[in-house]
Amino acid sequence: MSSIPKEHDYIGLSEAPSMEKISDKLSSSSSTLSTEENINSKSSSTSLNLKETELRLGLPGSQSPERKLILPAAGVSLFGKDIDTNSTNGYPLGPLKNLVSGVKRGFSDAIVGSSGKWVFSGSNGSEKSCVAGPAKKDDVAQSPKPVLEKNSQVAAANENSSAPAAKAQVVGWPPIRSFRKNTMASSLVKNNEDVEGKSGYGCLYVKVSMDGAPYLRKVDLKTYNNYLDLSSALEKMFSCFTIGQCGSHGLRGQDGLTESRLKDILHGSEYVLTYEDKDGDWMLVGDVPWDMFTDSCRRLRIMKGSEAIGLAPRAMEKCKNRN
């Protein structure tokens, strides 16, 4: 196991001791984080490979200037490695506030006064931190372990035993009658088959992966109206992981990226939001009007900035052609 995850303080870079305790618990106990079955990870990107998820704004090796917050992300990573203040990998943040101290801040906040509700609360050592979204997989101390489909043991409810992989369903929960469950299940399969990556009636599910995060999520693009909504949702979804900037650049000016802004973004951020379009090309999110994006997006990936550099030329091309 690599180092115990510690939490980051954006500004001061000091570790919050309280979080350390939690981190200990997480890594030593049956943390669900480490037992997820649906880990979509390259071998290096497990929850404990922290370097990948280190929170930074700058690209490796760069010193990031004090910047106005149009970007990223405030996300505290439970998996994050401690930042060595002397590291040459430098620092970022400037105005980003410390999530740990309980201030909720997200990149969408910075953009337009959005609610920026972070699910991750820094509340000092609360064991319940980082519980929404993926949180369902965390061990919350007070609640007994749900009875699982197989091996339902009452005794088990009292142990702090590891919940088997997140995929296992709890019997009879949520409380929905079988008839409805079965009907929904077959309708959904149908919907998803029809609309796999395409626009169709009903929903438009696309997978969202984040480099370094242990599992995928899925979102229904039809539930969002614009890039702002999408980025808020992604922000919440991946708040437990470090998240660099996610597509916020798409929010400025509905007419898409300009070349100079694009450059700003790439130099300023660790993560960018990208998508695979129907031609199979990976594009930066935000470079086309929203409707065009939802039409062509097959899946999303929160990619490390360094890898996204390669996308820039194509995006630049498109910008130039458009402008």
Partner 1 sequence: MGPNPKMRKEFFDSTRSSPFPDEVLERVLSLLKSHKDLSPEIVARRFPRVKSVTLKGKPRFSDFNLVPENWGADVHPWLVVFAAKYPFLEELRLKRMAVSDESLEFLAINFPNFKVLSLLSCDGFSTDGLAAIATHCKNLTQLDIHENGIDDKSGSWLSCFPENFTSLEVLNFANLNTDVNFDALERLVSRCKSLKVLKASKSISLEHLQRLLVCAPQLIELGTGSLMPELTACQYAQLENAFNQLKNLSTLSGLWEASAPYLPVLYPACTNLTFLNLSYAFLQSHELESLLCQCPHLRRLWVLDTVGDKGLEAVGSNCPLLEELRVFPADPFDEEVIHGVTEAGFLAVSYGCRRLHYVLYFCRQMTNAAVATIVQNCPDFTHFRLCIMNPGQPDYVTNEPMDEAFGAVVRTCTKLQRLSVSGLLTDLTFEYIGQYAKNLETLSVAFAGSSDRGMQCMLEGCPKLRKLEIRDCPFGNAALLSGLEKYESMRSLWMSACNVTMNGCRLLAREMPRLNVEVMKDDGSDDSQADKVYVYRSVVGPRRDAPPCVLTLSGL
Q: What is the binding site for partner 1 (CB under 8 A)?
A: 38, 104, 117, 119, 121, 123, 126, 128-129, 131-133, 135-136, 140, 142-144, 146-147, 151-155, 157-158, 166-167, 169-181, 183-184, 187-188, 191, 201-203, 205, 207, 215-220, 222-223, 233, 236-237
d(CA 149, CA 145): 12
Least separation in angstroms between residue 314's CB and partner 1 is: 29
Could you tell me which residues come within 8 angstroms of residue 161 by beta carbon, excluding any fewer than 6 positions away? 30, 145
- With left for phi above 0 and alpha for psi between -120 and 50, is residue 286 left, alpha or beta? left
Q: Are 282 and 301 in contact (CB under 8 A)?
A: yes
229, two tokens: 């909504």
Closest approach, Cβ 253 to partner 1, in A, equals 24
Instruction: Give the C-alpha distances (Å, rounded to integers) separating 201 from 163, 182, 198, 227.
Output: 37, 21, 10, 21
Q: What amino acid occupies position 172?
A: G
What does 279-296 look like in DSSP terms, one character per residue? TS-EEETTSS-HHHHHHH
The nearer residue to partner 1, 40 or 49, going by C-beta atoms, is: 40
Based on CB atoms, which residue is closest to partner 1, 13 or 216? 216
Q: Taking the complex as a whole, how short is the minimal distance between the CB of residue 232 and partner 1, in angstroms?
A: 11
What minimum distance in Å lies between the beta carbon of 46 and partner 1? 18
Q: Which is nearer to partner 1, 219 or 273 (CB)?
A: 219
When the beta carbons of 171 and 292 are compared against partner 1, the nearer one is 171
Closer residue to partner 1 (CB): 88 or 152: 152
The span from the CA of 300 to the CA of 209, in Å, is 6
**Closest distance of CB 167 from partner 1, Å:** 8
